Amino acid sequence: MGRYVIRRALQMVPVFLGSTLLIFVMVYALGDPVAALFGDKAPDPATAARIRHDLYLDQPLWRQYLHYMGQILHGDFGSAFNGQPVTELMAAAFPVTLKLTLVAVVLEAVFGIALGVASGLRRGRPLDTGLLALTLIVISVPTFVSGYLLQLVFGVKLGWTRPSVSPAARLDELLLPGLVLALVSLAYVTRLSRTSVAENARADYVRTAVAKGLPRHRVVSRHLLRNSLIPVVTFIGADIGALMGGAIVTERIFNIHGVGYQLYQGILRNNAPTVVGFVTVLVIVFLLANLLVDLLYAVLDPRIRHA
C-alpha cells in the first residue's frame, strides 16, 4: 500500500511539470497583458516598458518559465494585477469552491445513485423510461442555461433562496448553485448506476442472496449496491477535479468568489501567475482525487489489494 502510493506520487511530478509548462505557454500565447491595464487609453510607453520589465515580460518565454518555477519553489506564486499575492487569492478562493464542490458531489451522489438504483431495478418500466428521458435532457442543457433558469425561478419568482451567494458563502446559499453544477454529472451518475445495478441484479450472488430468503432491502443495500458502486465511485472521484475547475460559469452566474471566478479574471486579464497557479493546484487536486479513488476500490472490492 505504502509503496503503491509513493509510486503514484512520483508519477505526479512529470505531470505537474508538463501541466505548468503547457498552461504557461498558453497564457503566454494569450498575449501581452500590459495594454489592458490602461483601459481604453493608449499605454504610456515608458510606464508600459517598466511594468513589462518588473514582471519579467521582456524576457524570452523559457526565461520567464524558469523564473516562475524558481519563484514557486520558494513558495512565491506571484501577484494579481491589483497587487494581491496569488497565494492570498488561493486561500480565499479554494475553501469556497471546495464547499461548492462538496455540495455538488453530495447532491449528485445521493440523488444520482438513488434515481439510478430505482431505475435499474425497474428496467424498461415507465419509471425507468421517464428518468432516462429526464437525465438525457439534463445532459443536453448547457450550464449557463440551467443556471439562469433556476436562479430566476427559485431566486426571484419564488424567493426560496438568495439569487446570489454572499462573500461568506454559507452552505444553504450554495444549495442552488451546487445543484446547477451537479446537474450534468447527476445525469451521468444516474445512467451509470442504472446500468451497473441492472447488470449486477442478474449476478449469481444476488440470486443466491434472494434464494437464502434475505429481505429485499438487505439484498439491495448490502449485496447489490456495494458491488454496483465501483464505476460510480470512479466517476465521482474524477468529477471532483472537473467540478472544481469547471465551475467558471456557475460561479459567474451566482457571483461566487471561488476558483472559477479568479481563474476567469486571470484569463481575462492575461495574468499568468494567477492562471498558472490556480490550474497547477487544480491539476494536483485532480491527481489526488484519482489516487483516492483507486484506494477506495480496495474498500469496495476486497479482491483488489494495493501492496
Partner 1 sequence: MRKAAPAAWAACAVAAVLALASCTGPPAAAGGPDGILTSSWGDPQNPIEPANTNEVQGGKVLDMVFRGLKRYDPRTGEAQDMVAQSITTADARTFTVTLKPGWAFSDGEPVTARSFTDAWNYGAHVDNTQNNAPFFADIEGYDQVHPESGKPTAKTMRGLRVTGERTFTATLTAPYPAWPDTLGYQAFLPLPRAFFTDHDGWLDKPVGNGPYRIESYAKGSGMKLRRWDGYRGPDQARNGGVDLVVYTDSNTAYTDLMAGNLDLVDDIPATQLKFVKSDLGDRYTNQPALIIQTLVFPMYRKEWARPGMEKVRRGLSMAIDREQITRRIYQRTRTPADDWTSPALGDGGGYRALCGDACRYDPAAARRLIAEGGGLPGGRLTLTSNVDTGSHRAWMDAVCNSVNNALGKRTACTVDPIGTFADFRNRITSYRMSGPFRSGWQADYPLIQNFLEPLYRSGGSSNHGKFSDQAFDTLVDTANARPDPADAVGDFQAAERVLAAQMPAIPLWYQNGSAGWSKRLTGVALNQFSVPVYDRITVV
Partner 2 sequence: MPDTRDPAADPDDARSPYGNPHEAVAPTGGGGALDLAAGEAGTLGAPERPRSLWSDARHQLARDPVFLLSALLIAFLLFIAAWPGALASGDPLSCDLALSQEGSRPGAPFGYDTQGCDVFTRTVYGARASITVGVCATLGTALLGGVLGALAGFFGGWWDALLSRLADVFFGIPVILGGLVLLSVVTSSTVWPVVGFIVLLGWPQVARIARGAVLATAQADYVQAARALGAGRGRTLLRHVAPNAVAPVIVVATIALGTYIALEATLSFLGVGLRPPTVSWGIDISNAAPQIRNAPHMLLWPAGALSLTVLAFILLGDAVRDALDPKLR
> What is the distance between the alpha carbons of residues 253 and 261, in angstroms, rounded to a whole number?
10
267 binds partner 1 (CB under 8 A): yes
Closest CA to 94 of 244, 241, 237: 244
| Partner from partner 1, partner 2, none binding residue 212, C-beta < 5-8 Å depending on class | none
State in angstroms the smallest separation of the CB of 64 from partner 1: 17
> What is the distance between the alpha carbons of residues 84 and 288, in angstroms, rounded to a whole number?
28
| C-alpha cell belonging to residue 91 | 486561500
42 binds partner 1 (CB under 8 A): yes
Phi, psi of 235, deg, nearest 5: -60, -50
104 binds partner 1 (CB under 8 A): no
> What is the distance between the alpha carbons of residues 86 and 31, in angstroms, rounded to a whole number?
20
Please count the residues of this chain forming the interface with partner 1, following the rule CB under 8 A. Answer: 57
Site for partner 1 in 158-197 (CB under 8 A): 159, 162-164, 166-168, 170-172
Measured from the CB atom, the residue of 163 and 231 that comes closer to partner 1 is: 163
Q: Which one of the spans 43-51, 104-112, 131-139, 297-305 is the region binding partner 1 (CB under 8 A)?
A: 43-51
| C-alpha cell belonging to residue 163 | 439569487
Closest CA to 118 of 129, 105, 108, 106: 129
- Choosing from 17, 38, 222, 304, the residue that interacts with partner 1 (CB under 8 A) is 38
- Helix, strand or coil for residue 79? strand
Measured from the CB atom, the residue of 116 and 266 that comes closer to partner 1 is: 266
Contacts of 280 (CB under 8 A, 6+ apart): 16, 19, 20, 23, 72
Site for partner 1 in 71-100 (CB under 8 A): 81-84, 88-89, 92
User: Which residues of this protein are in contact with partner 1, per CB under 8 A?
Assistant: 30-33, 35-47, 49-51, 54, 81-84, 88-89, 92, 148, 151-152, 155-156, 159, 162-164, 166-168, 170-172, 251-255, 257, 261-262, 264-265, 267-270
